[in-house]
């Protein structure tokens, strides 16, 4: 192994990406070194690029959709060995002693929640160092490029759906069919829900069918809430869109006891007519991806059920271009960096 590696760092908040060489770091106690094969570009990488997340120390390499191979392990690491294929996602570390951690709910750690690419250098690099407890095993059926987006976009849609209380045959809608939604749609369909895609435009129908939607609602051409009511009312709407207005507009499409699960992050507040919650006993909840075992479950389910991200592959050295492609909203549907 050569002792130098490439890493793409953001130099300062709103600063440019900078491709530099540095020494390959050694994994400390409890840590592993992953040789990165692929790293998805997530909209949340803008937290690092634009300096939105408080307290980031720059320069910082983004990237929390990592897929690669364990290259070296530090002292005291049990359960993992060099050569194993692993993913590293949004959940990149936790304190281990707060109330959440002691309940095993690591992703809501209140003391020292860590995110690769924010708390420490992430996957825009040839190697990344991460706590061993944050790894997910990648099944043979998934390539690194397929596994990477599942480590954030995948678990962020799979995990809330499987905990939603919806049962096979229930009407489940996915609002917004982009990086998150195109995976949410596939998961919902493969979980056995009567699946509805809600997006804008008529040209999307063939793709929506291919992704598993039984019904498609064009929110430009019709009132999505009224259309959902016609279908019987949704048990769950998974809101992956980044428009609070679009979320408000579907609320009336929930059935009795229906739940709007919010995973997309709009810039503006969500306005809700409270009466529409009370009488039909509807609820609105958020969901923060999941811990490493949730990611591993996501990968295993995707491998078994045939759920795959649609990706555009860009080499690591063109990370800036890949990031712009993702931010433009034109990518179909996830941009993934590869180290080659």
Q: Where are the alpha helices (DSSP H) in 143-216?
A: 144-149, 155-162, 181-190, 205-210
Name which position in 10, 34, 42, 175 contacts Zn ion (CB under 5 A).
42
| Nearest-angstrom CA–CA distance, 276 and 296 | 37
Q: Does 109 bind Zn ion (CB under 5 A)?
A: yes
The dihedrals phi and psi of 328, each to the nearest 5 degrees, come to -70, -20
215-218 and 194-199: which strand pairing?
Answer: parallel
Q: Which lies closer to Zn ion via its Cβ, residue 159 or residue 219?
A: 159
Cα angle 281, 282, 288; round to 5: 135
| Nearest-angstrom CA–CA distance, 27 and 222 | 55
Name which position in 95, 137, 231, 270 contacts Zn ion (CB under 5 A).
95
Q: How many binding residues for Zn ion (CB under 5 A)? A: 9
Q: Does 44 bind Zn ion (CB under 5 A)?
A: yes
216, 197 contact by CB (below 8 A): yes
With CB under 5 A as the contact rule, which of the stretches 8-16, 43-51, 265-273, 307-315 interacts with Zn ion?
43-51
Q: Does 101 bind Zn ion (CB under 5 A)?
A: yes
Name which position in 20, 52, 111, 265 contacts Zn ion (CB under 5 A).
111
Q: Report, in Å, the least distance between residue 4 CB and Zn ion.
A: 28
Q: Does 150 bind Zn ion (CB under 5 A)?
A: no
| Nearest-angstrom CA–CA distance, 28 and 25 | 9
Name which position in 6, 49, 85, 94 contacts Zn ion (CB under 5 A).
94
Name which position in 13, 19, 51, 98 contacts Zn ion (CB under 5 A).
98
215, 240 contact by CB (below 8 A): no
With CB under 5 A as the contact rule, which of the stretches 52-60, 87-95, 160-168, 320-328 interacts with Zn ion?
87-95
Q: Which lies closer to Zn ion via its Cβ, residue 240 or residue 339?
A: 240
Q: Where are the alpha helices (DSSP H) in 24-141?
A: 46-49, 99-102
List residues binding Zn ion (CB under 5 A).
Answer: 42, 44, 94-95, 98, 101, 109, 111, 152
């Amino acid at each position: 192994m050569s002792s130098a590696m490439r890493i793409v760092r953001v130099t300062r908040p709103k600063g440019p990406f900078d491709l530099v060489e540095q020494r390959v770091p050694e994994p400390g106690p409890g840590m592993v070194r992953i040789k990165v094969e692929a790293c998805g570009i997530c909209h949340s990488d803008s937290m690092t690029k634009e300096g939105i997340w408080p307290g980031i120390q720059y320069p910082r390499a983004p990237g929390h959709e990592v897929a690669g191979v364990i290259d070296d392990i530090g002292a005291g690491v049990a359960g993992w060995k060099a050569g194993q294929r692993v993913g590293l996602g949004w959940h990149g570390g936790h304190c281990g002693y707060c109330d959440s951690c002691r309940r095993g709910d690591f992703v809501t750690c209140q003391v020292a929640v860590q995110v690769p690419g924010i708390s420490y250098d992430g996957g825009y690099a040839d190697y990344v160092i991460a706590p061993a407890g944050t790894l997910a095993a990648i099944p043979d059926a998934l390539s690194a490029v397929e596994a990477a987006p599942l480590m954030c976009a995948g678990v962020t849609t799979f995990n809330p759906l499987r905990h939603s209380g919806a049962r096979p045959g229930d009407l489940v809608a996915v609002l917004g069919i982009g990086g998150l939604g195109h995976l949410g749609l596939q998961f919902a369909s493969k979980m056995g829900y009567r699946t509805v895609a809600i997006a804008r435009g008529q040209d999307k129908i063939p793709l929506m069918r291919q992704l598993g939607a039984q019904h498609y609602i064009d929110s430009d051409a019709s009132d999505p809430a009224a259309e959902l009511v016609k279908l019987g009312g949704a048990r769950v709407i998974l809101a992956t869109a980044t428009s609070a207005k679009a979320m408000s507009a579907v609320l009336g499409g929930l059935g009795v006891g229906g739940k709007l699960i919010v995973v997309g992050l709009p810039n503006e507040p969500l306005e809700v007519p409270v009466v529409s919650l009370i009488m039909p006993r509807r609820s609105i909840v958020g969901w923060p991806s999941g811990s490493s075992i949730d990611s591993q479950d996501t990968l295993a389910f995707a491998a078994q059920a045939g759920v795959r991200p649609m990706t555009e592959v860009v080499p690591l050295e063109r990370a800036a271009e890949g990031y712009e492609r993702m931010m433009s909203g034109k990518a179909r549907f996830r941009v993934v960096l590869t180290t080659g």
